[in-house]
Copies of this chain bind each other. A is one copy, B any other.
Amino acid sequence: MMTKAEIVAQILNGRGRAPAAGGYAFAPSNIALCKYWGKRDEELNLPVTASLSISLGRLGSTTKLSLRPDSDVVRLDKKELAPDSPFARRIGAFLDLFRRDAGMYFEVEAVNTIPTAAGFASSASGFAALVTALDELFGWELDKRELSILARLGSGSACRSLHHGFVEWRAGTRPDGMDSYGERLDAAWPELRLGLLVITAAEKSMGSRPAMKRTIETCALYKSWPEKAAADLALLKKAIAEKDFHLLGATAESNALAMHATMIASWPPVVYWRPESLAAMQAIWAARANAVPVYFTMDAGPNLKLIFQAGDEAAVRGVFPDLKVVRPFDAEP
């Protein structure tokens, strides 16, 4: 099994120059329409299956980076994190991969424009922004594929946050994961809208990493997940190519429910749903029965992400007045 440090050495391979004064980058959050659920390699975050996401335009993370002589400082949303907090330690361990000597420390200023740790994938945009800022700081001049692989080492789904629009994370087959990265699909869907429905902004009860691990280890139904994910990926690509909204929405919703089903059927059960999550699902099904074309997806948390088109925004807002509506294709380069 390869280590992260070996992958980093292979990618950097002597690249870089004297560090610049700082690095700065933005990366969008992404929401998977076909989920990343299960790792074939825990160390390198290599997935069992391919996945497909849509990036959230201007919602995501910015990261400002500079060097410091003594110890790391991590600020998240303007608040300095205790050095022994889980997130600071996770960032520190990731930065260890890039220190040129034992006396090199970083000041990291991360700002999320989306609620942290409430199932809105801030670690994805956070690690994608961080590697892009590192690239600027050290002058590596890596391409998006290489940055995507580095971001994956921090958080699997981060490899999809290097691009706007629809992104496919190729599962790859190589043990070193050099063929497992995010690639932009050549497709735009400007009328597509995502609606963020915050059931709770509280920290979730269990991180997605242990939830995924427990599912693989204890859920008998997970054996059928790879086949389901492969079928859904093909349907989503067809839906995107043909701009078939109902196919897109139904496939994404079914994929998310199947992922939650594998958690529900794990032991002990992993149930991120709150009663309010279920009430929101029922409101969506009722709206659909009422001819409002709206679907949802959910990640490893209690919140819902609604999927609809611009022309139906008023009808969807009629059901969910507090919805935060995102235009994924607004921030297109």
Contacts and interface: CB of A to CB of B under 8 A. Distances in A.
A261 B250 contact: no
Contact of A265 (B254, B267, B274, B275): B254
A228 to B, nearest CB: 4
Contacts of A222: 224
Interface in A248-280: 250, 253-254, 257-258, 260-262, 264-265, 267-269, 271, 273-276, 278-279
A231 interface: yes
A221 B261 contact: yes
Contact of A278 (B225, B250, B254, B278): B278
A287 interface: no
Contacts of A79: none
A interface, by DSSP: helix, strand, loop or mixed?
A: helix
User: What 6 pairs between A and B have smallest CB-CB spacing?
Assistant: A275-B275, A261-B261, A220-B228, A261-B265, A258-B265, A221-B221
A274 to B, nearest CB: 7
A11 interface: no
B220 A262 contact: no
A221 B258 contact: yes
A223 B224 contact: yes
B279 A267 contact: no
A274 B278 contact: yes
Number of copies: 2
A332 interface: no
A265 B223 CA distance: 14
A157 to B, nearest CB: 21
Nearest to A275: B275
A273 B276 CA distance: 12
A227 interface: yes
Interface in A219-254: 219-225, 227-228, 231, 250, 253-254
A326 interface: no
A265 B257 contact: yes
Nearest to A281: B271
A264 to B, nearest CB: 5
A52 B250 CA distance: 35
A243 to B, nearest CB: 21
18 contacts: A220-B224, A220-B227, A221-B224, A221-B225, A221-B261, A221-B262, A221-B265, A223-B227, A224-B224, A254-B269, A257-B264, A257-B269, A258-B264, A261-B261, A261-B262, A268-B285, A269-B285, A271-B278
Given A220-B231, A227-B220, A275 B279 contact: yes
Interface in A87-141: none
A252 to B, nearest CB: 12
Nearest to A250: B267
Contacts of A275: 275-276, 278-279
User: In the complex, which of the residues A224, A265, A275 has the most CB atoms of chain B within 10 Å of its own CB atom?
Assistant: A265
Contacts of A257: 264-265, 269
Nearest to A228: B220
